[in-house]
Amino acid sequence: MLRTAMFRIYRSLLHLYPPVYLEQFGDEMTAVFLEVQAETAQQALFTRAGLYLREILGLITGAVQQHVRTLGLREWLPFPTRRFTMRTEFRFPKSTAVLMTIILAGVVLAIEKGKAISASLPAVNPALGPIQPPHQTFLPSVALAFLFFYAAGLIGWVILFAMHRAGVHRLANMTPGQR
């Protein structure tokens, strides 16, 4: 009884969202609510009441945020918007791949230096001699692999860009009824 009443309330509160947002995320939001409701069905009434209160407040807050976002007044909101906002764009900065590559190169370089130090030490424990300069074999091959994959990605991007441009121009020159 309480479950069906809360589901009806949830469905009616979903209509507070802008129609475009509701069309894009409404079914998914409803499915998630039903899953959470089914998971908490056997729990105490206090736990379920907390769930329902949190969901209702979340729906109202989210609807207000989406309406403000569609009006372009995001900086006028009196509450934080980043925490509860569903976004479809990629969340990592584009510099992440570059920084991860630099970190990987540093790790590979440290491994190479460690191998060089280990190879220059004798197997016995007498006094240590000078450390020999490293003979880099792994680092150039990693750099070559990065260059190869970068070139392959660049070639793929050029091909896709050329196909996109050719397709758009072809459609722009097409007249209705022509095959």
Rounded Cα distance between 133 and 141, Å, is 19
As a whole number of angstroms, the distance between CA 83 and CA 85 comes to: 6
Tokens standing for residue 164: 């996109």
Residues 168 and 114 in one domain: yes
Whether 84 is in a domain gets the answer no
Instruction: Give the residue numbers spanning the domain of 12.
Output: 2-76
Q: Name the token pair of 130.
A: 């000078």
Distance CA 6, CA 37 (A): 9
In a domain, 161, yes or no: yes
Number of domains in the chain: 2
Q: For 113-153, how does the pLDDT look when each residue is reduced to its tens digit (9 = 90+)?
A: 888 888 787 666 656 667 777 666 777 888 888 999 999 98
Residue 72 Rama label (left phi>0; alpha psi -120 to 50; beta): left
pLDDT at 160: 79
With respect to residue 46, please indicate whether it lies within any of the assigned structural domains.
Answer: yes
pLDDT at residue 39, as a whole number: 85
* Cα–Cα nearest to 121, from 111, 135, 133, 131: 131
Q: Is the pLDDT of residue 78 over 60?
A: no
Q: Quick check: 101 pLDDT over 60?
A: yes
At residue 110, the pLDDT reads 92
